[in-house]
Amino acid sequence: MKKVTGLGGVFFKCDDPKGMNEWYVKNLGLPVGQYGTTFDWRHADDPSKIGSTSWCTFPQDTKYFDPSTKPFMVNYRVENLVALVDELKKENVTIIDEIAEYDYGKFVHILDPEGNVIELWEPGDESDPDNIAG
């Protein structure tokens, strides 16, 4: 079974998310919106499928990364989240929450051995450009 298939996103805390976003727009040209930036791309093995990778700033007091105290969170793309979670449970990996399902995919959060929150994401239908995150 394939596990992680790619990077889904990078999220980090900062003192001034608005100012940080403005810096990235001005200096690196990122098209930052309400939910950060979404980089769209096509799958190498099936160019009809559109994938995406997200980048987003969060305020220092966000609870989204809890229970981690780290200032960042990485999101990994996976193929079969339900099967992967079953496998992770057998390995005694800490699963923080239940699988949440949205139009753009399924999500769950786990902890690595050093307490970093990892977000696992099984994208929704990537052949439909209106059905991707972002």
* Burial status of residue 86 (CB atoms within 10 A of its CB: 0-12, 13-18, 19 or more): exposed
pLDDT classification of 128: cutoffs 50, 70, 90: low
For domain 4-131, the CATH superfamily is 2,3-Dihydroxybiphenyl 1,2-Dioxygenase, domain 1 (3.10.180.10)
Which residues, listed in sequence order, are joined to residue 6 by a DSSP beta bridge?
Answer: 77
30 with 57: CB under 8 angstroms? Answer: no
Among 12-16, 41-45, 74-78, which stretch is predicted with the lowest mean pLDDT?
Answer: 41-45
Q: What is the pLDDT of residues 83-118, one digit of tens each?
A: 999 999 999 999 999 999 999 899 999 999 999 999
* Burial status of residue 123 (CB atoms within 10 A of its CB: 0-12, 13-18, 19 or more): buried
Q: What is the pLDDT of residues 7-37, one digit of tens each?
A: 999 999 999 999 999 999 999 999 998 889 9
pTM score, whole prediction: 0.87
How many C-beta neighbours within 10 Å does residue 41 have?
A: 12
